[in-house]
Each structure stands twice: as structure tokens, then as C-alpha cells.
A = this chain, B = another copy of it.
Amino acid sequence: MWKGTAKTKKGANMIYLDNAATTQVRSEVIEAMLPFLDKKYGNASSLHSLGQEAKTALEESRAKIADMLEAEPDEIIFCSCATEANNFALKGLAFEAKKQGKDHLIVSKIEHHCVLHTAEWLESLGFRVTYLPVDEYGVVKLAELEEAINEKTFLVSVMYANNEIGTIEPIKEIAKICEEKDVAFHSDAVQAFGKIPLDLKKVDMLSLSAHKIYGPKGVGLLMKRKHLRIQPLLHGGGHEFGLRSGTENVAGIVGFAKAMELALKEMPRESKRQARMRDKLIKHALQIPESRLNGHPKKRLPNNANFSFRYAEGESIVMKLNEHGIAASTGSACSSPKLEPSHVLLALGLAPSEAHGSLRLTLGRYNRMEEIDYVCKVLPEVIEELREISPFWHKKS
């Protein structure tokens, strides 16, 4: 049963360094949500007082969030997750653009799978897609973007910051190019919100997910400018301005608004604090032989460190760390582990032994420097152990 508001929370006594995969819901958020699971359970579409109470909470959350994103309330469309928001943005605009004779979209090669696979599905329906390359640090190549846009292009989608390597993209510049060429610009800001200040003035659509910022799983949103017409992905009762049907998850949305509010409030302090831990991790990890830092050395999220350790396989590193009570990840925590190396690392031009030997450590508000010290001690041992078993390492030494 819910026991209240510890300031420092921990699950299963682990050192949790997988905050890009998901985060622990904050106590304040759980407390904000509970009344809407319990006593205030009305359907926001119902006319009676219980319904109107839910409606009011929903609209207050929407207004708060709109404020934080420098948008209008009717530009905030709640949905179930960032995967849905990204599918919605791309497909919703694609089906609308088709009517205007446009059939080309541009996405970066290092987008999250929910953008990439949506783009591929649109390709299967006859749309054309340009997969924009990135440089060795994962930064989108602006000149190639400019070249790729043509008169059939209806959308450019580039994430604000990458979930695996933490690289921050030149969103302002991309938005400017899109504005000049009169193409809509969508950005997946799931990993960026609450970690770095966002400049959204020229962003036409933006995706966010609550569970990445200490909110609950199962809630996301698409910010979509009013001037942009898109088709719904979920048809039905006409909720969310007719753009996303389905009974609103009021508790989740209230929690989302709370989580966003707190994330922004703590951002100045937390991003500095986490960057210090990140830098320590980087410093120590790079002392391990044949290691490299993936992503941009400077333009990176304050909470992301991503390494390649040649001849130590990623999954095995993660599982060894797990044995030491450290929760980490190899690349993204998407669906169940697949066989291919990360498409993001491949796009950076990593060699096979590097791409397969990657480790992502992502910090959060509950991490402490002592934990990082411990990780810095354990990590070299783990890498060493795995290399001991590897045929390649022995070959070298």
C-alpha cells in the first residue's frame, strides 16, 4: 500500500542507471493521480458533476502543459504514449498531405523505431521517405536536409535529443530550414524535455511521454499547431478536439502535468548535478582500454553516457552489471532484445565490435554520486571479465 513521500526513492535496491528507458513515478505525481483513480473517477465527457469534475482537472492539466510548451491549450492532444504521438504525427499528416498531392517525408536515421518503422509503413503505402544521415557524433547533416526537401515534401521529423547516445540535434536550425521551405517540422522531444531548455517557437509538432520524466506509463501527448491539419489515428467519440478518441486517462494526464511541472522546476539544478555524475562516468569509463564515448562530447544530454567497449558484448555487460546491482542498458530498451546492433550506432559508422559492445548509462534524479563511484569501480572489472572469455582479446594480448 502507498506509504507516501520519500524524497529519495529506490526500487529493489538497485543502482538505477536506465532512466532513459523509464523512470520511477515521483511521490508527488502518485499523490496527484490517486484521487482520480479513487473518488474523482468520472468520465470527462459526462455531463453530471462527477464528469465535469474530471473535465475540469483535464482542462487544467492541458492549460498548464500548454503554458509550459508555449502553446495554446487546443494545441495539446493527449494520447497513450510517445509511440502513439509519433505514429499520429507522421501518419496523421501523411494521409492529409496525400490529399494535397504531397507524398515525401524526411526522418533522420537515428530516430526512435516508432518514427522509423512508421516511415517504413508509409513507404509500403506508396509514400517516399528520405532517411537523413548523421555525422560521427549523431548530429543531423543540415546541408543534406536542405537538399532532400522538395516540392512534394510535407514533413521533416528529427528528434530533439537521441535516446541512445544523448546527442542534441540542431533543432533551431532545422526548424528554420523547414520554415523557409514551408515544410512542417515534427520533433520527438521525449528524452529532451526536462533535461534541457526547449526552443519550440518554430516546431509544428512535438511528442512527449510521461514515463520518461517521473510520470506514469501509458500517457503521452502530441503538441500540434492549430494551423496544421492532420487526420486522427484513433477515430471514435471525438475526444481531444476530434483528433484522438478514447476516454481520457484523467489520472494519468493529471500526473503527467504534475511531472512536467516538477521536471521544469528542478531542471536547472538537476541537469547540473546529473552532468557532474555523467562526466565522472565518462572520465572513468574512457580509462578502460579500447573504449569510446558514443555521441557528441559536448552537445549531449546531461544524463546520458554511452560507451563502446570492444570485445565485450553489450547484453553480457548489462547482465554482469545487473549481478552487481546496477541497472543499465545496451542501446534502447525498446522491445525484446533483437539480434541486430543498434541502428543509431550503425548510423554513426561504428565497426561491428564497437556496435555490439555498447553500454548506455542514463542518470536520473534519484542517483547519487556514491552510486557513481561504485559503478566506476565495478565497470572496469566487468569489462575485463568479459574480455577474458572473448577469443579476440586473447588474440590481441
Hey, which bits of chain A sit against chain B, CB under 8 A? 1-2, 4, 9-12, 14, 16, 18, 21-25, 30-31, 33-34, 37-43, 45-51, 53, 79-84, 86-87, 112-114, 117-118, 120-121, 209, 211, 216-219, 231-239, 242, 245-252, 315, 318-319, 321-322, 326-330, 332-338
A22 to chain B, nearest CB (A): 4
A335 touches B245 (CB 8 A): yes
Q: Is the CB of A45 within 8 A of B236?
A: no
CB distance from A12 to the nearest CB of B (A): 6
Say which residue of B21, B47, B114, B333 sits within 8 Å of A246 (CB atoms). B114
Q: In the complex, which residues of chain B have a beta carbon less than 8 angstroms from the beta carbon of A42?
A: 11, 18, 21-22, 327
From the candidates B11, B41, B113, B248, name the one contacting A11 in the complex (CB within 8 A).
B41
Contact (Cβ within 8 A) A48 B252: no
Give Cα A243 to B345, complex, Å.
25
A14 and B335 CA atoms in complex are apart in Å by 44
List residues of chain B with CB within 8 A of the CB of A333.
43, 45-46, 51
Give the nearest-CB partner of A2 in chain B: B2
17 contacting pairs across A/B (C-beta < 8 A): A11-B40, A22-B43, A22-B247, A24-B38, A24-B39, A43-B333, A47-B329, A48-B318, A87-B235, A112-B237, A114-B236, A114-B245, A117-B235, A117-B245, A217-B248, A217-B252, A218-B252
Which residues in B have their C-beta under 8 angstroms from that of A242? 335
Alpha-carbon separation in the docked complex, A191 to B326 (Å): 45
Complex CA gap A319/B46 in Å reads 11
CB distance from A164 to the nearest CB of B (A): 12
Q: With A48-B322, A50-B12, A238-B334 in contact, do A41 and B23 touch (Cβ < 8 Å)?
A: yes
State the CA gap A53–B12 with chains docked (Å).
10
CB distance from A13 to the nearest CB of B (A): 10
A15 CB to closest chain B CB (Å) equals: 10
Could you tell me if A112 and B252 are in contact, using CB atoms closer than 8 angstroms? Answer: no
Please indicate which of the listed interface residues A23, A81, A219 has the most CB atoms of chain B within 10 Å of its own CB: A81
Q: Which residues of B contact A328 (CB under 8 A)?
A: 48
Q: Which residue of chain B lies nearest to A122 when distances are taken between CB atoms in the complex?
A: B235
Known: A14-B49, A238-B334, A251-B217. Contact between A81 and B322, CB under 8 A?
no
Given contacts A81-B246, A114-B245, A217-B250, contact A335 B238 (CB under 8 A): yes
B37 contacts A332, CB within 8 Å?
A: no
Bound CA–CA A33/B37 (angstroms)? 11
Given A30-B37, A217-B250, A245-B335, the answer on whether A235 and B114 have CB atoms closer than 8 Å is: yes
Q: Which residues of B contact A233 (CB under 8 A)?
A: 87, 233
User: Hey, which chain B residues are within 8 Å of A335, CB to CB?
Assistant: 45, 237-239, 242, 245
A231 proximity list for chain B (CB < 8 A): 121
Report the minimum CB–CB distance from A297 to chain B (whole Å): 27
Q: Which B residues touch A43, using CB under 8 A?
A: 18, 21-22, 333
Given contacts A38-B25, A211-B247, A252-B218, contact A49 B322 (CB under 8 A): yes
Contact (Cβ within 8 A) A48 B251: no
Are the CB atoms of B216 and A219 closer together than 8 Å?
A: no
Most buried by B among A51, A121, A232, A248: A51
Residue of B nearest to A252 (CB): B218
Residue among A48, A86, A250 with the most chain B CB within 10 A?
A48
With the chains together, A83 CA to B244 CA distance in Å? 9
Given the interface pairs A24-B38, A51-B21, the reply to whether A31 lies near B1 with Cβ below 8 Å is yes
Nearest chain B CB to A365's CB is how many angstroms away? Answer: 13
